[in-house]
Amino acid sequence: MASLALNPVSREHPWLLLHTGPGVPIVVAMKARFLIPLLALTAGLITSCARAPQTATMAPPPAPRLASAATGIDLSGMDTSVLPGDDFFAFANGTWIKNTEIPADRSAYGAGAILSELTAKRVSELIGEAARSQAAEGSETRKIGDTYTAFMDEAAIEAKGLTPLEPSLRQIAAISNPGELAQALGSSLRADVDAFNATDLYTPNIFGLWVAQDLNNPNRYSPFLLQGGLGMPDRDYYLDPSPRMAGIRARYQEHIAAVLKLSGSADPEGKASRILELERLIAQTHATRDDSGDILKGNNHWKREDFEKQAPGMNWQAFFLASRLEKQDEFVVWQPSAVIGVAALAGNQPLSTWKDYLHFRAIENASTFLSKAYVDEQFAFYGKVLSGTPKLRDRWKRAIDVTDEALGEAIGKLYVARYFPPTEKARAEAMVRNQIVAFGHRIDQLAWMTPETKARAKAKLAILKVGVGYPDKWRDYSGLEVIKGDALGNAQRASLFEYKERLKKLGGPVDRGEWVMNPQLVNAVNLPAMNALNFPAAILQPPYFDSDRPEVMDYGAAGSIIGHEISHSFDDQGALFDETGRLENWWTKEDFAHFAASAERLVKQYSAYRPFPDLSVNGRLTLGENIADVAGLAVAYDAYRLSLGGKEAPPFHGLTGDQQFFVSFAQGWRQKFREPALRQRVVVDSHAPAEYRADTVRNLDAWYPAFDVKPGQKLYLAQADRVQIW
Ligand SMILES: [Zn+2]
């Protein structure tokens, strides 16, 4: 099976990146999510997505205007002085790009962010109503309101200073032996990572837990242990010798010292240097991003007793007892090098350094909920240095993120009741059905795939579980305690509640109807082991999906996203899972060889894109997503043609149906970045930057006649160089 792995391929599944690592830590003891708050609600999706705001040229926000029936396509945001064949992204978006400034509190901005902003505004109204409702004690509405209100009470938070964190800091100070260190590390474990569904590989805690369908036995859940413990996004930030990264490390060390100073620690500079060195040693044990994305490298089953033997240095018994996993006898160790390496460091690094590290990390992880000095210091490094964002987001926006993080599905329930009518759900489901039919036709017509593999693919397509809008069954928050006026405690309890809920799954039946995204998230995802897709309600709205405009535009925008996610079930990663979710490659060797050869051409195509003279897109890191983009666009095109039964779509302001399709697609990728954010993205994101995702069009034959694209133009590809994998 390993021989069939196209390696290293991106294993990222969300249509957009959710987190890149530390952003602004949103929830204590959960993790630092600055850049891309989990919900990406107010933050705007870090990764490009974005479909077009169909409005006139956009000045810096405040009032986002989205698609309107009057336009459907943002004609004034296009730049028709550019030849489509030279730069399709600029042709579709050039005027908007020229006239738009990235808001000061953002590292990137575009159609997805605008839609996220609108959704956030709606969510904030729902939360505000909940806060004013005086709903019954213990009800979800009351919990939503109290979580939000506690965070908004800045004066109370200011007055408390570091007091709410003192019990944790005292516990850390009391650590006096390796067993207690292991206990502290074990008790920090939270369900805050996801190896390949919502793909979130970052946790600031020493390890992260993911409870998911077992890859060898799809009828049960397993606990997956993932690496963590770093304050910066990735091992590269610690190990890359370039002057740029060295500069960031120096700033990080200053940041650590500043945080320690604020908390009244003695010798902050000395401690900062030792903490950074410990993190550097941890980073050395970390698997690379590419390896962490490789399912075949991650699926390592360890018995509990293997930990003592394979990873000496840590008191594992104390670790598992503190993490409530003492009864679990089998684990999946996603990055063995980190478990082995961290265990060794637990045994051979000074206890005092570990205590300083834990002290710093406790404050850092809680900063979002502490007084202004901590919030500002955190932003100075994570916002400004790491992302180039000049201004901290308004408190109410952060309050929404915090509330959404704690009670996401409870808010989602309110959201869909108001903003996602059954008619839109039905329309989206019809579009999904057309896409599935179109995908089935494409499988039938593939010249390179053997009949036996085609049969397996069709079987998998037949039972693909497509979730549209929201889950069939909502989750139960009755066990979550929310206390008025206790912002930090609420966040800590929410993260512990989530952890315990996930632990409860162990030993129980697998639920294929489970969602990994909230309905109010502008994103979409393929859950490979579950053979299931989630299309949250929030992405099924203008400018991606709009009942007031010609449907061909929806096929270009939302349809290409749906196609993208469907194709993941059948690509090189989808090939690893059979229809039940068992890790069993159902492709033949010949199929894989054909696939790999086409993929190599796509690696070359994307590696040639250079956002900066010294930095090119990593065609290999982004390969899986680029394949899905090509497939998604092709399937959406077929589905749109299919939906018209051979007729042409009516012209729109002089644009033909095909032109409307491709321009809607490219306007969806409308996005601008600040330089540090884009650089960070190129390093860690398995999706190509938005501009190049828009240029996917050059692989479709239909795009050429639609815009009269000719040899010699920059995006022109000879027939043989167009990559058509599906
Ligand atoms: Zn994807």
**What's the pLDDT score for residue 512?**
86
- Give every strand in the sheet of 532-536, ordered side by side: 465-469, 532-536, 525-527
β-pairing, 465-469 vs 532-536, is: parallel
**What's the pLDDT score for residue 17?**
55
Ligand 1 centre to CA of 249 (Å) is 31
Residue 70 has pLDDT above 50, yes or no: no
Ligand 1 centre to CA of 574 (Å) is 11
Least confident stretch, 301-310, 382-391, 400-409 = 382-391
Ligand 1 centre to CA of 702 (Å) is 23
**What's the pLDDT score for residue 5?**
29
Residue 537 has pLDDT above 80, yes or no: yes
Least confident stretch, 209-218, 510-519, 576-585 = 576-585
Ligand 1 centre to CA of 632 (Å) is 10
Question: Is 692 in contact with 617 (CB distance < 8 Å)?
Answer: yes
| Percent of the chain scoring above 90 in pLDDT | 76
Ligand 1 centre to CA of 538 (Å) is 17
**What's the pLDDT score for residue 33?**
31
Ligand 1 centre to CA of 482 (Å) is 35
Structure tokens given for 37: 């708050």
Give the global pTM.
Answer: 0.82
Q: How confident is the model at residue 559 (pLDDT cuts 50, 70, 90)?
A: very high
Residue 27 has pLDDT above 50, yes or no: no
Ligand 1 centre to CA of 562 (Å) is 10
Ligand 1 centre to CA of 652 (Å) is 30
Ligand 1 centre to CA of 687 (Å) is 8
Ligand 1 centre to CA of 657 (Å) is 26
Q: How confident is the model at residue 47 (pLDDT cuts 50, 70, 90)?
A: very low
Q: How confident is the model at residue 71 (pLDDT cuts 50, 70, 90)?
A: low
Ligand 1 centre to CA of 261 (Å) is 43
Ligand 1 centre to CA of 563 (Å) is 10
Ligand 1 centre to CA of 290 (Å) is 15
Ligand 1 centre to CA of 443 (Å) is 19
Ligand 1 centre to CA of 48 (Å) is 12
Structure tokens given for 654: 């002089």
> How do residues 314-333 score in pLDDT, each as one tens digit?
999 999 999 999 999 999 99
Q: Averaged over 234-258, what is the pLDDT?
A: 96
| Percent of the chain scoring above 70 in pLDDT | 90
Please return the burial class of 404, using the count of CB atoms within 10 Å of its CB with bins 0-12, 13-18 and 19+: buried
**What's the pLDDT score for residue 64?**
31
Q: How confident is the model at residue 26 (pLDDT cuts 50, 70, 90)?
A: very low
Q: What angle do CA 712, 717, 720 make, to 5 degrees?
A: 130
Ligand 1 centre to CA of 524 (Å) is 8
Ligand 1 centre to CA of 623 (Å) is 10
Round the average pLDDT of the chain to a whole number and report it: 88
Ligand 1 centre to CA of 625 (Å) is 5
Question: Is 211 in contact with 223 (CB distance < 8 Å)?
Answer: yes
Ligand 1 centre to CA of 46 (Å) is 14
More confident residue, 542 or 502: 502
Question: Is 227 in contact with 338 (CB distance < 8 Å)?
Answer: yes
Ligand 1 centre to CA of 219 (Å) is 25
Q: Averaged over 236-242, what is the pLDDT?
A: 96
Least confident stretch, 10-24, 238-252, 643-657 = 10-24
Ligand 1 centre to CA of 567 (Å) is 9
Ligand 1 centre to CA of 189 (Å) is 28
Ligand 1 centre to CA of 13 (Å) is 4
Ligand 1 centre to CA of 628 (Å) is 6
Ligand 1 centre to CA of 437 (Å) is 20
Rounded Cα distance, 71 and 547, in Å = 13
Coil vs helix vs strand at 323:
coil
Residue 61 has pLDDT above 90, yes or no: no
- Give every strand in the sheet of 207-213, ordered side by side: 207-213, 221-227, 330-333, 301-303
HSE on the CB side for 493, CA within 13 Å? 17
Rounded Cα distance, 354 and 253, in Å = 16
Ligand 1 centre to CA of 561 (Å) is 9
Residue 217 has pLDDT above 60, yes or no: yes
Ligand 1 centre to CA of 564 (Å) is 6
**What's the pLDDT score for residue 581?**
86
Ligand 1 centre to CA of 470 (Å) is 19
Residue 51 has pLDDT above 60, yes or no: no
How far is CA 570 from each of CA 573, 575, 577, 624, 673, rounded to the nearest angstrom?
7, 6, 9, 11, 32
Ligand 1 centre to CA of 292 (Å) is 16
Question: What is the amino acid identity at position 516?
Answer: V
> Of 423-432, 589-598, 680-689, which has the strongest mean pLDDT?
423-432
Ligand 1 centre to CA of 626 (Å) is 8
**What's the pLDDT score for residue 15?**
57
CA–chain centroid gap for 38, Å, is 7
Ligand 1 centre to CA of 565 (Å) is 6
Give backbone dihedrals phi and psi of 333, rounded to 5 degrees, phi first: -95, 105
Ligand 1 centre to CA of 390 (Å) is 30
Least confident stretch, 211-225, 557-571, 574-588 = 574-588
Residue 200 has pLDDT above 70, yes or no: yes
**What's the pLDDT score for residue 66?**
38
More confident residue, 574 or 99: 99
Ligand 1 centre to CA of 691 (Å) is 16
